[in-house]
Amino acid sequence: MRLSQLEVGEKGIVKEFTDLEMSVKLMEMGCLPGEEIRVERVAPLGDPIAINVSGYQLSLRKREAHTIVLQ
């Protein structure tokens, strides 16, 4: 299951990343293995998405969300 597959309102827990470069950036922003993520909303044109992670809102593109593998 990837983050990009979640619908608005659904939650998941980060397991690992498929892309090293992206993982470094995501982890810095608090998106770490073991963290719970909730999809808050999708931009009006369908991309990017906004997620809630470690208590704040982060936006990322679907392509980037696809590199996050959920438990």
Partner 1 sequence: MKADIRVALVGNPNTGKSTLFNVLTGLNQKIGNFPGVTVEKKVGYCQLPDGRKAEVIDLPGTYSIYPKSQDESIVFSVLADSSNPHRPDLVVVILDASNLKRNLLLYSQVADLKIPVIVALNMMDMAKKADISINVDLLAERLGVPVVPISARKVNGIEQLKEAISYANKFALQEDSIDVNTIAPQLVEAIGDEMHIDNPYLALQLAHQHETLKFLTPEQSDRIEELEHQYSFNSQKAQGMETIARYAFINDLLYDTVTKPVTAHEENLSNRIDKVLTHKIFGFVIFLGILLFMFQAIFSWSAYPMSLIADGFVWVQDNLHHILPAGPLANLLIDGVIAGLSGVMVFIPQIAILFAFISILEDTGYMSRVTFMMDKLMRKVGLNGKSVVPLIGGFACAVPSIMSTRTIENWKDRMITIMVTPLVTCSARLPVYTLLIALVVPNKNIWWVFNMQGLALTGMYVFSLVSAVLVAWVFKYILKGKERGYFIMELPVYRMPRWKNVVLSMYDRSKAFVLQAGKVIIAVSVILWVLASYGPGKKFDQIDKQYAQTQYTQHMSADSLSRTIASAKLENSYAGVMGHVIEPVIKPLGFDWKIGIALITSFAAREVFVGTMATMYSVNGSAEKMQSVYEKMHQAKNPQTGQPVFTLAVAFSLMMFYAFAMQCASTMAVVYRETKNWRWPAVQFAYMTVLAYAASFVTYHLLR
Q: How far is the CB of 28 from partner 1 (least distance, A)?
A: 5
Which one of 5, 10, 15, 61 is in contact with partner 1 (CB under 8 A)?
61
Q: In 15-43, which positions are buried (b, 16+ CB within 10 angstroms) versus exposed (e)?
A: eebeeeebbeebeeeebeeeeebebeeee
Q: How many residues does the chain have?
A: 71
**Residue 58 CB neighbours (<10 A):** 17
What character string, x for contact with partner 1 (CB under 8 A) and - otherwise, covers 15-44?
Answer: -----xxxxxxxxxxx-xx----x-xx-xx
**Is residue 7 within the footprint of partner 1 (CB under 8 A)?**
no
**Residues that bind partner 1 in the complex, under the rule CB under 8 A:** 20-30, 32-33, 38, 40-41, 43-48, 50, 52, 54-61, 64
